[in-house]
Amino acid sequence: MPNGALPDTRVLVDRARTALERCGATHLPEPVGAPGRARTPITGQDLFPVEFDTPASAEEAVSAASHAFTSTWRDTPAPERGRLVHRLGELLREHKEDLADLVTIEAGKIRSEALGEVQEMIDICDFAVGLSRQLYGRTMPSERPGHRLMETWHPLGVVGVITAFNFPVAVWSWNTCVALVCGDTVVWKPSELTSLTALGCHGLLMRAAADVGAPADVHRVVLGGAEVGGVLVDEARVALVSATGSTAMGRAVAPKVAARMGRYLLELGGNNAAVVTPSADLNLVVRGSVFAAAGTAGQRCTTLRRLIVHEDVVDQVCERVVDAYGRLKERVGDPFEGSTLVGPLVGERGHEAMRGALERARADGGQVLVGGGRRLEKEAEEAFYVEPAVVRMPSQSEVVQEETFAPILYVLSYRTLEEAVELHNGVPQGLSSAIFTQDQAEAERFLSAAGSDCGIVNVNIGTSGAEIGGAFGGEKDTGGGRESGSDSWKAYMRRATNTVNYGGELPLAQGVEFL
């Protein structure tokens, strides 16, 4: 049961090694560079050394991926490129448990969430394979007789993918599977906190490449910190940098890539809210809010951080949510345990941020209704398990407008829907949003241009748990990027507008006369 004994770190070491071997990671050449360490937030202990890359070895990875792009991959027919991703999907199905083990060990996700993240990878493989036969251009009517006007899409080049710890494999797959079928090659810099999951994914992709005869250098992984990621940001041969992380990281990356006329796709911070109207089904509100706010220990970019509730039902909603949280705090613990619902924070920084935010909220007149304490400190002093917290706030103060990457849910009240929308939009971030209502007019107003200003707008579901078929991303300080489904593939390709003259004459556009 949760709140009991945690697994021995040596057991986790053996489990991680077994998963890596089964994924094929042990057959990879060791990167050379400064040594790092793989760590697990489950016990707060190091697992074993991992060799990090240097800027020089990261440059070599870019060179190899660039050569694979120009020599082979960009000219490989898209359906043939889809065979690589199809094979990867098969291997992910075969090794779903192994990769989920690595996700839980390194990111601390509970078992169902870790398995769900790998399922998300499988789903994007299916999507990308279908996409490999649907990279459509358009034919448009020409104003000139005997001419055809059309557009074609071509591979972009090397795509640099920089990912965060909280979704250590899914976000990589969103980018990589789509980029590969688009004809790009990929260099991946994962979070230094999740090197093992990256090695596991890379091992499976290399097995897939060998099975279908694709060049091995269509994908390279480079391990390390900001200095390694900086190579992808600064390197002119990296045509697109897709970076997931904090808004501060995005503000550093964007101008550097733009200065060299490169492309960037940013998925940054979120400060997501749900509006609860008087007509809302409170059963949906409680279930949707608790998962969205406390899932992944509050460490999702789509985590619900603000609950904006009509004054007629705010007391009732608070009572029901607090009751659910009271039961939830007894299910904090070992993420491998099937009954656990909240695993550890990834590290001490998250715990300190949570403590500081709660202190500031109290100073601003907030009342902590439940949670906020630390669990299992005696069992694992260097691991950070916390009780998800609910805080009733009198206003949307400065601390509420900031994203704290921990399980804190602020509750605010409103009188009119216009006031609710103003509160909702009154933060710098713009990723995910929701409204709970049985009133169709209220739902439509929230979905309209005058409603939520986020990239994801939901009705009667929470803010987290996006499907891969829809484009994922947000506005404002969230960065404006779109990944995964819909037409997000266009970010990974370049467009050419073509005019074909088959008529034998040469009329100029707009009726221009010349010679």
Helix or strand or coil: residue 124?
A: helix
Q: What is the pLDDT of residue 1?
A: 53
User: What is the CA 504 to chain-centroid distance, rounded?
Assistant: 52
> Considering the entire predicted model, what is its pTM?
0.96
Identify the band that residue 466 occupies on the pLDDT scale cut at 50, 70 and 90.
confident
Average pLDDT, the chain: 96
CATH code of the domain occupying 9-268+479-495: 3.40.605.10
Dist. CA 171–CA 201, nearest whole Å: 12
Q: What is the pLDDT of residue 2?
A: 66
Identify the band that residue 370 occupies on the pLDDT scale cut at 50, 70 and 90.
very high
Q: What is the pLDDT of residue 329?
A: 87
pLDDT tens-digit readout, 408-434: 999 999 999 999 999 999 999 999 999
Mean pLDDT of the region 7-17: 96
Tell me which residue has tokens 């990279």: 135
End-to-end CA distance of the chain: 86
Q: What is the pLDDT of residue 427?
A: 98
Provide the residue ranges of all domains of the chain, joining segments of one domain with +.
9-268+479-495, 272-472
Q: Which two tokens stand for residue 381?
A: 């002093």
Q: Which two tokens stand for residue 422?
A: 């103003």
Phi-psi region for residue 460, left (φ > 0), alpha (ψ -120 to 50) or beta?
left
Mean pLDDT of the region 253-277: 98
Q: Which two tokens stand for residue 6?
A: 């945690």
Return the CATH superfamily for domain 272-472. Answer: Aldehyde Dehydrogenase; Chain A, domain 2 (3.40.309.10)
Torsion of CA 202, 160, 482, 496, to 10 degrees: -120
Residues 6+ apart with CB under 8 A from 422: none
Q: 122, 231 in Cβ contact below 8 A?
A: no
pLDDT tens-digit readout, 65-107: 999 999 999 999 999 999 999 999 999 999 999 999 999 999 9
pLDDT for 4 beyond 80? no
Question: Would you name the residues annotated as active-site residues?
Answer: 267, 301
Closest residue by Cα to residue 264 from 9, 13, 473, 470: 473
| CB neighbour class for 112 (10 Å; exposed up to 12, middle 13-18, buried from 19) | middle
